[in-house]
Amino acid sequence: MHSILWRLNAPFFFGVIVLGILTGINVISTYFVDYRVDTSIQNIHVNKFINNSRFHWEEAELSFDLKGDFSEVFNWNVNYIYIYVELDYESPMRNAIIIWDKIIPRFYYKPLKIEYKSEKGKYTLKNKGYNLRGKNVLAKIKLEIEPIAGFIFKIEGSHSNITFPTNYSY
Protein backbone atom coordinates (compact mmCIF):
# COMPACT_ATOMS: atom_id res chain seq x y z
CA MET A 1 0.00 0.00 0.00
CA HIS A 2 2.97 2.23 -0.05
CA SER A 3 2.80 3.48 -3.60
CA ILE A 4 0.07 5.67 -4.96
CA LEU A 5 -0.64 3.33 -7.83
CA TRP A 6 -1.36 0.51 -5.42
CA ARG A 7 -3.71 2.73 -3.43
CA LEU A 8 -5.40 3.68 -6.67
CA ASN A 9 -6.12 0.24 -8.00
CA ALA A 10 -6.80 -1.70 -4.79
CA PRO A 11 -10.13 -0.01 -3.81
CA PHE A 12 -11.23 0.09 -7.44
CA PHE A 13 -10.78 -3.61 -8.02
CA PHE A 14 -12.15 -4.46 -4.61
CA GLY A 15 -15.32 -2.58 -5.50
CA VAL A 16 -15.55 -4.34 -8.85
CA ILE A 17 -15.09 -7.75 -7.27
CA VAL A 18 -17.68 -7.13 -4.57
CA LEU A 19 -20.16 -5.90 -7.16
CA GLY A 20 -19.41 -8.94 -9.30
CA ILE A 21 -20.01 -11.33 -6.44
CA LEU A 22 -23.29 -9.69 -5.51
CA THR A 23 -24.40 -9.74 -9.15
CA GLY A 24 -23.46 -13.41 -9.28
CA ILE A 25 -25.70 -14.07 -6.28
CA ASN A 26 -28.42 -12.21 -8.12
CA VAL A 27 -28.00 -14.36 -11.22
CA ILE A 28 -27.91 -17.65 -9.37
CA SER A 29 -30.89 -16.84 -7.21
CA THR A 30 -33.04 -16.34 -10.28
CA TYR A 31 -31.78 -19.23 -12.36
CA PHE A 32 -33.94 -21.81 -10.64
CA VAL A 33 -37.16 -19.85 -10.57
CA ASP A 34 -40.07 -21.59 -12.21
CA TYR A 35 -41.79 -18.95 -14.27
CA ARG A 36 -45.52 -19.22 -14.91
CA VAL A 37 -47.67 -16.98 -17.00
CA ASP A 38 -51.37 -16.92 -17.31
CA THR A 39 -52.19 -16.07 -20.88
CA SER A 40 -54.85 -16.83 -23.40
CA ILE A 41 -55.21 -16.18 -27.09
CA GLN A 42 -58.52 -16.68 -28.81
CA ASN A 43 -60.74 -15.68 -31.66
CA ILE A 44 -58.16 -15.53 -34.35
CA HIS A 45 -59.48 -14.24 -37.66
CA VAL A 46 -57.74 -13.98 -40.94
CA ASN A 47 -58.57 -10.53 -42.17
CA LYS A 48 -56.83 -10.39 -45.46
CA PHE A 49 -55.32 -13.20 -47.43
CA ILE A 50 -53.90 -12.43 -50.83
CA ASN A 51 -51.50 -13.79 -53.31
CA ASN A 52 -48.85 -11.21 -54.03
CA SER A 53 -47.72 -12.26 -57.43
CA ARG A 54 -45.14 -9.52 -57.74
CA PHE A 55 -43.04 -10.85 -54.87
CA HIS A 56 -44.14 -14.47 -55.22
CA TRP A 57 -45.53 -14.82 -51.78
CA GLU A 58 -48.81 -14.99 -49.99
CA GLU A 59 -49.70 -12.32 -47.48
CA ALA A 60 -52.10 -12.56 -44.59
CA GLU A 61 -53.15 -10.23 -41.82
CA LEU A 62 -54.69 -11.63 -38.70
CA SER A 63 -56.47 -10.31 -35.68
CA PHE A 64 -56.99 -11.96 -32.34
CA ASP A 65 -57.96 -11.53 -28.72
CA LEU A 66 -55.13 -11.63 -26.28
CA LYS A 67 -55.10 -11.63 -22.54
CA GLY A 68 -52.23 -12.03 -20.11
CA ASP A 69 -51.19 -11.52 -16.54
CA PHE A 70 -47.49 -11.02 -16.08
CA SER A 71 -47.18 -9.82 -12.53
CA GLU A 72 -45.68 -13.10 -11.31
CA VAL A 73 -42.83 -12.85 -13.76
CA PHE A 74 -41.14 -9.68 -12.54
CA ASN A 75 -38.58 -10.58 -9.92
CA TRP A 76 -35.61 -8.45 -8.92
CA ASN A 77 -33.46 -9.62 -11.78
CA VAL A 78 -35.87 -8.88 -14.62
CA ASN A 79 -35.07 -5.87 -16.76
CA TYR A 80 -38.05 -6.23 -19.06
CA ILE A 81 -40.00 -8.88 -20.90
CA TYR A 82 -40.63 -9.32 -24.58
CA ILE A 83 -44.01 -10.81 -25.35
CA TYR A 84 -44.77 -12.11 -28.82
CA VAL A 85 -47.31 -14.11 -30.77
CA GLU A 86 -45.77 -16.72 -32.98
CA LEU A 87 -47.45 -18.63 -35.79
CA ASP A 88 -46.14 -22.07 -36.58
CA TYR A 89 -47.01 -24.07 -39.64
CA GLU A 90 -45.49 -26.81 -41.75
CA SER A 91 -45.14 -26.46 -45.46
CA PRO A 92 -43.62 -29.16 -45.41
CA MET A 93 -40.68 -27.91 -43.41
CA ARG A 94 -40.94 -25.86 -40.25
CA ASN A 95 -41.98 -22.23 -40.56
CA ALA A 96 -42.43 -19.78 -37.74
CA ILE A 97 -43.39 -16.12 -37.93
CA ILE A 98 -43.87 -13.46 -35.29
CA ILE A 99 -46.92 -11.39 -36.01
CA TRP A 100 -47.19 -9.30 -32.88
CA ASP A 101 -44.87 -8.25 -30.11
CA LYS A 102 -44.76 -5.99 -27.11
CA ILE A 103 -42.13 -4.94 -24.65
CA ILE A 104 -43.01 -4.40 -21.01
CA PRO A 105 -40.17 -2.78 -19.06
CA ARG A 106 -39.93 -3.21 -15.34
CA PHE A 107 -40.96 0.24 -14.17
CA TYR A 108 -44.09 0.28 -16.22
CA TYR A 109 -46.26 -0.47 -13.27
CA LYS A 110 -49.72 -0.35 -14.67
CA PRO A 111 -50.23 -2.88 -17.41
CA LEU A 112 -48.79 -5.99 -15.98
CA LYS A 113 -52.02 -7.46 -17.18
CA ILE A 114 -52.76 -6.89 -20.78
CA GLU A 115 -56.00 -7.48 -22.54
CA TYR A 116 -56.54 -6.83 -26.19
CA LYS A 117 -59.60 -7.57 -28.23
CA SER A 118 -59.38 -7.91 -31.97
CA GLU A 119 -55.80 -6.76 -31.94
CA LYS A 120 -54.38 -6.57 -35.41
CA GLY A 121 -51.17 -8.38 -36.11
CA LYS A 122 -48.34 -5.87 -36.33
CA TYR A 123 -46.47 -7.69 -39.01
CA THR A 124 -48.03 -9.29 -42.02
CA LEU A 125 -47.43 -12.94 -42.55
CA LYS A 126 -45.52 -13.48 -45.74
CA ASN A 127 -45.15 -17.02 -46.93
CA LYS A 128 -42.65 -18.17 -49.55
CA GLY A 129 -44.72 -20.27 -51.83
CA TYR A 130 -48.40 -20.80 -52.23
CA ASN A 131 -49.38 -23.49 -49.83
CA LEU A 132 -51.14 -21.68 -47.02
CA ARG A 133 -54.65 -22.23 -48.22
CA GLY A 134 -56.58 -24.49 -45.95
CA LYS A 135 -53.60 -25.02 -43.70
CA ASN A 136 -53.88 -25.53 -40.00
CA VAL A 137 -51.70 -23.06 -38.19
CA LEU A 138 -50.76 -22.93 -34.51
CA ALA A 139 -50.57 -19.55 -32.77
CA LYS A 140 -48.57 -19.42 -29.55
CA ILE A 141 -47.88 -16.70 -27.04
CA LYS A 142 -44.30 -16.72 -25.89
CA LEU A 143 -42.27 -14.66 -23.54
CA GLU A 144 -38.61 -13.83 -23.42
CA ILE A 145 -37.26 -12.58 -20.10
CA GLU A 146 -34.32 -10.23 -20.32
CA PRO A 147 -32.45 -10.03 -17.02
CA ILE A 148 -30.52 -7.23 -15.43
CA ALA A 149 -27.59 -9.62 -15.63
CA GLY A 150 -27.51 -13.30 -16.33
CA PHE A 151 -29.31 -15.97 -18.27
CA ILE A 152 -32.01 -15.26 -20.83
CA PHE A 153 -35.14 -17.36 -20.51
CA LYS A 154 -37.97 -18.23 -22.83
CA ILE A 155 -41.37 -19.21 -21.53
CA GLU A 156 -44.30 -20.50 -23.47
CA GLY A 157 -47.86 -19.46 -22.69
CA SER A 158 -51.05 -20.78 -24.16
CA HIS A 159 -51.75 -21.50 -27.79
CA SER A 160 -54.62 -21.91 -30.18
CA ASN A 161 -55.30 -23.18 -33.67
CA ILE A 162 -56.54 -21.51 -36.76
CA THR A 163 -57.29 -22.87 -40.20
CA PHE A 164 -56.63 -20.60 -43.11
CA PRO A 165 -59.43 -20.11 -45.59
CA THR A 166 -59.22 -22.10 -48.75
CA ASN A 167 -59.58 -19.12 -51.00
CA TYR A 168 -57.91 -15.81 -51.24
CA SER A 169 -59.97 -12.86 -50.15
CA TYR A 170 -59.63 -10.48 -52.98
Quote the least distance from Cβ 48 to another protein, whole Å: 18
Q: Alpha-carbon distance 140 to 126, whole Å?
A: 18
The answer to the question of residue 138 lying near another protein (CB under 8 A) is no
Q: Is the Cβ of residue 1 or residue 110 nearer to another protein in the bound state?
A: 1
**Angle ∠(14,18,24) on CA atoms, nearest 5:** 145
Positions 62 through 101 that interact with another protein (CB under 8 A)? 75-77, 79-80, 82, 84, 86, 93-98
Measured from the CB atom, is 7 or 117 closer to another protein? 7
Residue from 26, 40, 51, 160 that binds another protein (CB under 8 A)?
A: 26
Give the binding-site size for another protein (rule: CB under 8 A): 48
Query: Which residue, 46 or 99, is less far from another protein as judged by CB?
Result: 99
Sequence-distant contacts of 19-27: CB under 8 A, at least 24 apart: 23/149, 26/76, 26/77, 26/148, 26/149, 26/150, 27/77, 27/147, 27/149, 27/150, 27/151
Q: With respect to another protein, which residue has the nearer C-beta, 14 or 130?
A: 14
SS3 state of residue 31: helix
Cβ within 8 Å of residue 157, ≥6 positions away:
37, 38, 39, 40, 41, 68, 140, 141, 142, 143
Helix, strand, or coil here: 130? Answer: coil
**Can residue 28 be called a binding residue for another protein (CB under 8 A)?**
no
Q: Kindly list the residues in this chain that would bind another protein in the complex (CB under 8 A).
A: 1-5, 7-8, 10-12, 14-16, 18-19, 22-23, 25-26, 75-77, 79-80, 82, 84, 86, 93-98, 103, 105, 123, 126, 128, 142, 144, 146-152, 154
